[in-house]
Chains A and B, each alone.
Chain A
Amino acid sequence: MIDIVTVEVIKGALIYAAEEMGISLRNSSYSPNIKERMDHSCAIFDFNARLIAQAEHIPAHLGSLPYGVKKGIEVYEGELEDGDILLYNDPYVSGTHLPDITLVAPIYFNNKLIGYVANKAHHSDVGGKVPGSMPSDVNELFQEGIIIPPIKFVKKGVVDKEILNLILSNVREPYIRIGDLRAQVAANMLGVRRVKEICSKYGIEKFFEAIDKIIEYSERKLRIEINKMPKGVFEAEDFMEDIGSKDEIAKIKVKITVKEDEIIFDYTGTSKQVDGPINAAYGVAVAGIYYTMLCITNPEIPMNDGFFKPILINIPEGTILNPKKPAPVSGGNTETSQRNVDVLLKAFAQIVPNKVCAACTGSMNNVAFGGVDENGRTWAFYETIAGGYGGRFGIDGVDAIHTHMTNTMNTPIEAIERNYPILFLKYGVRDGSCGAGKYRGGCGVERSWKLLAPTATVSIVSERHKIPPWGLFGGESGKTGEAFIIKTNGEIIKLKSKQTIRMDYGDVFIIKTAGGGGYGKPFDREPELVIKDVENGYITLNQALEEYGVVIKNGKIDYEETRRLRG
């Protein structure tokens, strides 16, 4: 029998090995997407494809990597040799969208298959209709980029040049792709080496015993947490907007059943898959569930197969959270994944009200723009813009921050202005956009710039322009998002949440992202906090009066009036 000290040491070593893979991938990757935004994940699996350890990188890959690895290796059952690496990005295998390329390598120890390492990284382009491979107006997967099923990209340690060439001829900026793919291969090789070192150090029997204990540990820990929750059935729903050519809405509905030591998520009632790129591949939907469970229980629980066991999931096939090929899915990762978390938290607000937040900005606010500059050079830039975080039990939401399933950095304005023909006019916290509450939501962001090239195309994929982020327990909704183009003649064009449009020299693009919802009744907010927000411009004097019932005269709170108004 293995002792608890060795289990603890092997657990640490495995988690560190996954982390080291991630660092190596980040260090040796070429594109800012991986290097700065850290849009990648690394993990280690046993021979049954059970997740043993995962490095903490991006929530959207939680659980989608285990799903994708299982589906990917099924294709090559018994055919993967030492030194082989599988590569694929087909969302219906890998579980996310095309830009996420997954690489899986088997681990052989003493000629026996003992496990796998895998990593997944978001490539800044995989071909398709638009640069960046995140189009706003497609109705088939085929328009989103090259689709690669699981293939042996590396055979016995050697990269297959023919496959590489096939991939490179289908993507923009091929030499950046080479750098990133090379980094992914190296990260897997490092992972294989590290796991083998652990096996030689402790012996293969101890290694297997430790894995069982590590998995059992997370499972027990999560069951204890589930057991603390009130038992019962809880439901919630929320909507996506501006879908397809008819600007339709789609529903996400969840029914959560909390039992003694397990929890069931049933998405029956969720809308059918749609004709726009906001279907979320199954792995993305599952990632939202695991993310939410980790947040509302104990973020310290090691993420492995044991964590998945007490969680039972039913997402009907053919819905926007489990679509059938060839539904397009590029925006499912960024938009639908956020709404899924909103719905889950809305349901959990009935179960563990003190452990959730009100709705956050609910979108990753993707903005892509580009064109041809005065010198005939093509240029393209893609960014995601933060928003308001929902109010929470005991504390306000956070202003201007990336929420839930994303956490990517912005690009410095000084870098963008140096490289692209645009001039920024504003980047700030969006005044007054926070949902009122005892604990107010965070404010969204306002960002605007002027085009300094003859023409350009701007494309946005966002959400919450019509249906605002909800508050909780009497808290108000955050303000909805907005986007405009102001022409040089003064004409103002209001954009939809998902739209592609042409701009001309001197036109100004403005985006204002949604604020987070409030938590608790605004009239219960301490007047001192309200006046502080007025002084700092987060809310107006009028909002203080109308939303919070706080009367401010000559810069001071009129307590008597306030009390009267609040009743």
Chain B
Amino acid sequence: MFRVGVDIGGTFTDLVALGESGEIINIKVPTTPKNPSIGVLDSFHRFTKGIDVKDIELIVHATTIATNAILGQVELNLPKTALITTYGFKDIVEIGRQRRAELYNLFFQKPKQLIQRKFRFEVRERIDAFGNIIEPLNINDVYSIIDKIKSEGIEAVAICFLNSYVNPIHELRVKEEVIKNLPNLYVCCSSEVTKEYREYERFSTTIVNVMLMPIVSKYLKNLIDGLREFKISAPFFIMQSSGGMASIDYVSKKPTTIIESGPASGVVASAFYSNILGLRDVISFDMGGTTAKAGSIRKGIIESTSEYEVAGRVHKGRIVKGSGYPIRGSFIDLAECSAGGGTMAWVDEIGALRVGPLSAGAYPGPACYGLGGLEPTVTDANLILGRLNPKFLLGGELQIRMDLAKRAIEERICNKTGLSLIEAAAGIIKIANSEMAKIIRIVSVERGYDPRDFTMIAFGGAGPMHACALAEEINLHSVIIPPNPGLFSALGLVVSDFKYEVIKSIMKNVSFEIVNEVERVFNDLEIEGLNMMPKFFKGDIIVQRYLDMRYVGQSYELIIPIAKPLTNESLMKLIDDFHNKHEETYGYSAREGDVEIVNARVVIIGIVKKPRLKVIEKGEAQYSIDSVIGEREVFFEESNQYINCKVFNREKLKSGNIIDGPAIIEQYDSTIVVYPNWLAEIDNYGNVIMRWKK
């Protein structure tokens, strides 16, 4: 039996099938951006040629279709959408948080309004902050809006009322009327998307959600129909931004949960590996062709965040607030920068050497690919420094042109700066590394963690080449390169669990008086969450409860786990836990201050039985001579010279083998650079575990 993961990347659609004994089948086909399901079906078409379709146990899919639709990709037309909101407040979604995303650009623009003002309709109704109805719903207003919606040919409707998070009665009533009169429309209430206070973020999430509903549900339906044609009937799930998978039904109703579907899976794979290897604190580092991404796993738990801005701009590793459309939900917390193999180096008008943010992408790609690229890239620099095989990549599929790499760097960098070829190439790598070190700091040092306690799992095509240098830069002593760095991210798809999260705002100061109320909310949320689990699921279910808490007067919350049921005693412990967490996170606590519970949060996890990993052949500390496939000169920054290094074929290495750096380990889709003063050891699963001897 196989578990199959399919990940749609910018260039390739990757299918990874993991067999019961840990064998991996990989199929790479070109991504078909206009209709990504074609690429996915193509990969299955090829995959099923070699196996019996009945051997497919389950399929998990990561897709960027939601983000692409919001970014305005052609052919993914967003539906014509209307907003129904409280009288006086139709512009809340336009004003947002009243901030501009760029401080010093007089020509900045707000993200385009997803719903034109003329399609934002107001209804007389009002519920106060405590859920009391101050003004009843004016049903005649609703009827006349329904008439307009009909005549305008609206396809989707977002219903967003103030304070609906405490009392959704008006939203639900309007939804009922809309559905009754216009049964074919996509309709979504803000209280269904999240029951959290902060109207702009809740409304924004609702609008994005309802606009994605037709696109995502049609896409998934096409995909399922297509798979049926191959007689594939295995259960099919989608990866969410939280790193857990969900059913098609669920995702079709809540497509905002899959916005960061792809990047999440790399961290999930890292978490899976850290669990097997018994690691608690891990940095997941993924470097591909255009970007590098870092996430962290602390005490075995993936660090996540509850807000994201879809179609937002990333600046220095962080999403710029106000540059996109905020989405509330659970997102794996990633920092990202423009540094990948294809990232271009250039010299500015003052003569400074710069790297990024532009990328040569897959086409024309780095100069050394010989596809017409003239700009020097990080890959070209790595080639000149001897890190990459000077003749070919991908086991011979891609011929490499050293002369073109040299020419690009000489013409575009050396001539303008007076640097030698080697200085320029080493400079490009140093600058790219310093950018990438920043994103690793963002997910570790900035959160108050000491990198020395962490292990880095480095993957993506380019990650293993830069891992040692980055580790040295941030003072991290141990790096693991998994067996298939290029496929690692897709592997995360087939090792994920089901995960659903439900939230409700409480907004009350902590006291014994609220214990019963909070317990009631938890029970309701638990029922709501368990209902999201696919009916057939028979495995273990874990129910986690959390409270989002803060000191009165603060505007940011900390998420504190709490045992079931909530009692007077556990409440005392909860307050203590909050003070401690505040101290750990921010360096101090205010034990004299009043504490407020903002949200109750329930996470339902359906544990999926994990596959086994393939165990490789055992060997001695001394590697066998046939694993060495050659030698080459490799330049290292620290020693500032070329050093003759052994080149190993990773396939031939056995568990227990130890390699003293500097050395190069080549494999089909990646190259590992073992730096001087690093020791690489192969473990039972074929991981290369590198330790800094400092």
Contact = CB atoms under 8 A, between A and B. Distances in A.
Contacts of A410: 95, 97-98
Contacts of B163: 414, 417
A537 B97 CA distance: 21
B110 A4 contact: no
Interface stretch (B235-243, B585-593, B671-679): B585-593
Contacts of B514: none
Contacts of B536: none
Interface string A497-512: 0000000000000000
B554 A30 contact: yes
Interface in A378-414: 385-386, 392, 394-395, 398-403, 407-410, 412-414
A224 B349 contact: yes
Given A20-B446, A299-B102, A398-B109, 9 more contacts: A3-B427, A12-B434, A295-B105, A385-B98, A401-B95, A401-B100, A402-B100, A408-B98, A537-B117
- In the complex, the 10 A-B pairs of residues with the closest C-beta atoms, listed nearest first: A5-B427, A299-B104, A536-B117, A428-B91, A426-B88, A417-B129, A32-B555, A386-B98, A28-B586, A418-B129
Interface in B422-450: 423, 426-427, 430-431, 434-435, 438, 441, 445-446
Interface string A214-228: 000100110010000
29 contacts: A3-B427, A4-B419, A5-B423, A5-B430, A8-B353, A9-B434, A12-B431, A13-B434, A27-B585, A32-B555, A179-B590, A394-B107, A398-B108, A398-B110, A401-B95, A401-B100, A402-B100, A403-B100, A407-B99, A410-B95, A410-B97, A412-B199, A413-B89, A413-B92, A414-B129, A414-B197, A415-B555, A427-B88, A427-B95
Contacts, number: 191
A23 interface: yes
B334 to A, nearest CB: 16
Interface of B: 88-92, 94-95, 97-100, 102-110, 116-118, 126, 128-130, 134, 162-163, 165, 197-200, 316, 349-354, 417, 419, 423, 426-427, 430-431, 434-435, 438, 441, 445-446, 507, 551, 553-556, 585-588, 590, 592-593
Contacts of A13: 434
B118 A173 contact: no
Given A28-B586, A412-B200, A535-B118, A401 B106 contact: no
Nearest to A294: B104
A426 B92 CA distance: 10
B97 A409 contact: yes
Contacts of B587: 28, 182, 186
A70 to B, nearest CB: 23
B109 A413 contact: no
Interface residues of A, number: 75
Contact of B100 (A35, A217, A398, A536): A398
Interface of A: 3-5, 7-9, 12-13, 16, 19-20, 23-24, 27-28, 30-32, 35-36, 56, 59, 173, 175-176, 178-179, 182-183, 186, 217, 220-221, 224, 291, 294-296, 299, 355-357, 385-386, 392, 394-395, 398-403, 407-410, 412-415, 417-418, 423-429, 445, 535-538
Most buried by A among B104, B349, B592: B104
Nearest to B126: A423
B88 A414 contact: no
Contacts of B103: 56, 59, 299, 407
Contacts of B353: 4-5, 8
A32 B199 CA distance: 18
Contacts of B100: 398, 401-403, 407
A128 B119 CA distance: 48
Contact of A176 (B117, B316, B553): B553
A413 to B, nearest CB: 6
A23 B417 CA distance: 35
A30 B109 contact: no
A35 B106 CA distance: 25
Nearest to B349: A224
Contact of A392 (B106, B128, B134): B106
A35 B554 contact: yes
A20 to B, nearest CB: 6
A536 B116 contact: yes
A413 B586 contact: no
Contact of A173 (B197, B354, B553): B553
Contact of A7 (B88, B134, B352): B352
Nearest to B355: A8
A538 B106 contact: no
B199 A414 contact: yes
Given A5-B426, A409-B97, A415 B554 contact: no
Contacts of A385: 98
A53 B89 CA distance: 42
A264 to B, nearest CB: 22
B446 A418 contact: no
B553 A23 contact: no
B439 to A, nearest CB: 11
Given A402-B99, A445-B95, A30 B427 contact: no
Contact of A4 (B351, B441, B551, B554): B351
A298 B19 CA distance: 55
Nearest to A20: B446
A427 B92 contact: yes
Given A30-B590, A35-B556, A8 B104 contact: no
B118 A356 contact: no
A83 to B, nearest CB: 18
Nearest to A9: B434
Contacts of B316: 16, 19
Contact of B197 (A56, A217, A412): A412
A174 to B, nearest CB: 11
Nearest to B445: A20
A5 B431 contact: yes
Nearest to A33: B555
Most buried by B among A357, A403, A407, A426: A407
Nearest to A383: B98
Given A3-B423, A175-B590, A182-B588, A413 B95 contact: no
Nearest to A176: B553
Given A4-B417, A407-B99, A20 B200 contact: no
Nearest to A214: B352
Given A402-B100, A428-B91, A20 B128 contact: no
Most buried by B among A5, A183, A408: A5
